[in-house]
Amino acid sequence: MDSQKGLVSCFSGDLELFVPPDEAVDMQAGEAITVFVRPEEILVDNAKDQENSFPAVLRSVTLLGPVTRLNLDYQGHSIYADIRTIDRHRFEINEPVQLSFRRESCRCMTEAAPVSNDSGLAQTEEVKG
């Protein structure tokens, strides 16, 4: 892995994500890690020019007062994003959307650390070597 680039491979290599170089400095090529992104850090239907950008499909919506949580699907993996409730009318169930987030929004953990499957973004399979 190039720790200056901070590039990791997710979902069996189907998606590559950029993470902060300081998060990647102790990772070894091929090491299994988990990448976390807080739901409020994920942008929905924004510019594709972000370092981390990929398509997903909206599966369900949960109203949480001023915030609405979107349950999105990326190739069979659930991803949660929070938007302002006032913006929920922009999205339809089973419609494709574009997700994006900054590399600085990513936090990485090795698989040895205990994690919950109800966390932000994605479990990665390996660090790019």
Buried b (16+ CB within 10 A) or exposed e, 74-104: beeeebbbbbeeeeeeebeeeeebebbbebe
Q: What is the CATH number for 50?
A: 2.40.50.100
Domain assignment present for residue 12? The answer is: yes
Domain assignment present for residue 54? The answer is: yes
**pLDDT of 93 above 60:** yes
Range of the domain at 108: 7-127
For residue 69, list its beta bridge partners. Answer: 62, 82
More confident residue, 3 or 59: 59
Res. 112 pLDDT band, cuts 50 70 90:
low
Domain assignment present for residue 92? The answer is: yes
Domain assignment present for residue 80? The answer is: yes
Number of domains in the chain: 1
Domain assignment present for residue 1? The answer is: no
Q: How many CB atoms are closer than 10 A to CB 123?
A: 17
Sign of the CA dihedral with 48 first, then 4, 77, and 72 last? negative
More confident residue, 113 or 13: 13
pLDDT digits (tens, 9 = 90+) for 4-55: 567 887 776 778 888 888 877 677 777 777 889 999 999 998 666 678 999 9
Q: Residue 96's pLDDT is what? A: 94
Domain assignment present for residue 20? The answer is: yes
Domain assignment present for residue 111? The answer is: yes
